[in-house]
Each structure stands twice: as structure tokens, then as C-alpha cells.
Amino acid sequence: MTNVTKSGAATGRRALVGAPLLVAAAGGRPARVPVWFMRQAGRSLPEYRRLRAGSSMLSACLNPELVCEITAQPVRRHGVDAAILFSDIVLPLHAAGVDLDIVPGTGPVVAAPVRSMADVSALPVLDGAAVGPVAEAIGLLLRELGDLPLIGFAGAPFTLASYLIEGGPSRHHERTKALMHSDPRTWHALLDRLAEITLTFLRVQLDAGVDAVQLFDSWAGALSERDYRELVLPHSAKVLSGLDGAGVPRIHFGVGTGELLGAMREAGADVVGVDWRVPLDEAARRLAAAVPGGPAPVVQGNLDPAVLLADFDVIEREVRRIVAEGRAAGGHIFNLGHGVLPDTDPEVITRVVELIHTLEP
């Protein structure tokens, strides 16, 4: 994606001329440093908690009016440069018919973990109509947001596989790693099926009009580079290459993936998200080395979410450092290195956005 206006016009998408996030994602120089925050739609906002009271996560994600309101809340409060669709990475599995629930305080819990080729064969495919409410929510949001970009998202095949195999969240992913090494045939069959589900979910969002997409590989940092390249990269690449020609930036993010940054760029992302463990100038160097002679890499990140709980002079120092380091890349979208922590003061987030918007790109 090299020309936002041209790409938008070519695909019939709304052309958000000059939107800082889209300009930065295309490797251009925006009017200001664009900023949005992972998990900005919810968690730390009291208005979100009031709105969500009494509704389950999965039911909320399939309520178009609720999705629209929750997605728009941080835009109104913080003045960020993009909205990200309120959803969950396991939503397409649930919509396809996988028996799972999101248990408060635990996370996704799968009733029947996937451990064999028979289990993989029994997995349902996702019918786009099953996530029709998500498309409806996007339609509402495009009218609500005006000229502000809307980011769609999905979970990457490895992260979805880890939930399915473990049966829920895992600190060490031991069953996942055991399967990937001991039964690679079943492993690749599973990730191929999940890549198809992810692609279907993202295409529904793109058809509905999102302006960018982010592929979350939250747990890929548990892998060595060798294992990532052999057992995961081909399936993430299938998702990202399946979005070729959509005319929107593709952002790829994982936690603890400093050693995987080059491989993640090779998977086909236009923008690579960086957590707080690697400075952005060093991340840009690693990303550039992965594609010699290619365009300068675009990065997203990477303030440690815990820093938002510190005194504001500490926050300001870190924000200024990150913006300065981000100038080493071909483009920089300011974000956290992971999601907003629930105890974060929303007023602090608003002040951070205001600060970032005063800094030179």
C-alpha cells in the first residue's frame, strides 16, 4: 500500500485523505504522530463497565449497537487517531460453532480441546453470515466515526490454536508445543483450518468497510525463530497474503516477539507492532535487515502499559523517547506494547494522546 487515496479509490473504499494513521502506515509523513491503544475499547473506561454490566463478552461482540458504542467510547474520550473494533479473537471460533466461553477472570475456555487429526477434521468452517452482526456494527461505526479510520482485527492461527489445544489460557503452551513437534501433520492441518476461519472473518470486516486490519499473534513470543518459521509463518502468511489487494494496511503484532520481528515482516505485514522489550530504532533495524532493499519498515508501539500507572513526568519522558526512536523507521504509529491495563486512569490516557499530538513526527 503506497498511496492511501489511490488504494481507497481503486477498491471502492472510503478515501480518508490525510488520516495520520493511514499516512504513517503507508510510509508517508503524517501531519502528526498518530496514536491509538490496544484494548482502548473497554477495560479502563467506567462508561464501558456500566454498558457491559449483565452481558457476556461473546453476546456483547454480536450486538451491533453495543459494539458500535463501545468502539466509539475511547474516540470520544481520548481523541485517538483510530478506533479498533470491539471484538474478541475467539469470536470467529464461537460463531463457527466451537463450544467455548470467555470466563471472567480466566479467559477463553474450550469445552473439547483439539488434540488429534479427528478433532481437526471435526472443526467447523466459518460461514460469513454467522458474523453478520459484526458487519452490521461496522456499518454503524462508519457513520459514527466520520473520517476517523476503523481498524478490524482477528487472532492469528497460532494463538487460536493454542487456546484450542490447551483448552484455555496457558503460561507455557506445553500441549501446543508437544503437538506441533510430535504430530506436524495434524498441526499444519489445524493451522490451515484456522487460517481459513481467520481469513473469512477478516474478509467480512473488509467487505463491511474497515480501513485497516490487525492480526494478533498474542502468544507467538513463546516460540523460537526456527519453530516460528517452520511451523507458524506459512499460516500467518496465508492470512496476510489472502488480504492482498484489499487496499488497507495490514498490521501484525505479537507479545515477546523481538526475536521474531524479521520473520513477522516476511509473513507479509505492512506494519509490525513491537512490544516494549525492543526499542523502536532497534526494531526498525531488524525489520529492515529482513527485507534488504525493500521499503523502510513501518512500526507500531511501544510504550510499556505499566508506565501509564507512573507519575506523569515519567510517562512524558518515555513518550518522548519512543517518538524519537520511532523516527528511525519509515513510519510510526504510537501505541502501547500490549493492551491498556484495567487500572489505568482514563484521564492519563487522554493526557498522553494530547502530548503525542504536540510532538513532531
Q: Which of 52, 277, 327, 351 is catalytic?
A: 52
Is residue 265 part of the annotated active site? The answer reads: no
CA distance 138 to 132: 10
Cell readout for 233 is: 509463518
Which amino acid is it at 346?
P
Is residue 50 part of the annotated active site? The answer reads: no
- Specify whether the CB–CB gap between 204 and 152 falls below 8 A: no
What are the E-state strand segments in the chain? 83-84, 100-103, 107-110, 150-155, 212-217, 250-254, 271-273, 298-303, 331-336
Q: Which of 13, 32, 88, 285 is catalytic?
A: 88
Angle between the 233-241 and 184-208 helix axes, to the nearest 10 degrees? 20
Q: Which of 39, 193, 265, 286 is catalytic?
A: 39
- Specify whether the CB–CB gap between 71 and 41 falls below 8 A: yes
DSSP labels, 256-272: S-GGGHHHHHHTT-SEE
- The tally of CA atoms less than 13 A away on the side-chain side of residue 43 is 18
Q: Which of 43, 77, 250, 286 is catalytic?
A: 43
What are residue 334's DSSP bridge partners? 35, 301
Is residue 163 part of the annotated active site? The answer reads: yes
- Spatial CA neighbour of 272 closest among 249, 247, 248: 249
CA distance 125 to 182: 25
Three-class secondary structure of residue 154 per DSSP: strand
Q: Which of 48, 163, 217, 250 is catalytic?
A: 163
Is residue 327 part of the annotated active site? The answer reads: no
Which sequence positions are flagged as catalytic? 39, 43, 52, 88, 163
